[in-house]
Amino acid sequence: MENNTSKHIALKVTGLTIGIIAAIVLVAVIVSKTALPVMRYNMSQRLAESGDYESAAQRLKGLDYKDAQEKLDEYAAIVIKTYVDAGETEKAVEFIKTAYELKTDEQVQHANEILSAAQNNK
C-alpha cells in the first residue's frame, strides 16, 4: 500500500514539475514575442534621442514592430551621410552591411538607394 502511495506522489510531483516547466516556457515565448520588441524599440528611440544613431539602428535591425523599418532607414541615412560627409565611404558600406544584414537582392538595392541618397546630399 505504501509503495502505491509513493508512486502516486511521485507521479503527482512529476506532473506538477512538467506543468511548471510548460508554464515557464509559455511565459518566455510570450515575453520574447511581445515585451522584447517593445524594449528594443524603446531603447532605440532613447539612443537616437541622445544622438547615437548607429546603435539605434542596430537595435532595430530585424525588428518587426511598429515603424521599426522606417526608423531604421531614417537612422541609417543619418549614419551613412555622416560617414560619406567625412569621406569614409568604406565605413558607410560596412555599416549598411551590418545594419541591414543584406541577404536578398531587394535588401541590397534598398541599402544602395540609401547610400546613393547620402552621397547625392553631400
On whether the CB atoms of residues 41 and 60 are closer than 8 A, the answer is yes
Distance CA 2, CA 24 (A): 33
Q: What is the pLDDT of residues 1-21, one digit of tens each?
A: 556 788 888 888 898 999 999
Q: Is the pLDDT of residue 102 over 80?
A: no
What's the pTM? 0.68
Q: What is the mean pLDDT of residues 32-60?
A: 92
Give the closest residue to 79 by CA, choosing from 105, 60, 103. Answer: 60
Q: What is the mean pLDDT of residues 83-100?
A: 89
Query: How many domains are there within the chain?
Result: 1
Q: 121: helix, coil or strand?
A: coil
The whole domain housing 81 covers 2-120
Helices (H), 2-67: 2-30, 36-49, 53-60
Q: What is the mean pLDDT of residues 60-80?
A: 91
On whether the CB atoms of residues 75 and 56 are closer than 8 A, the answer is yes
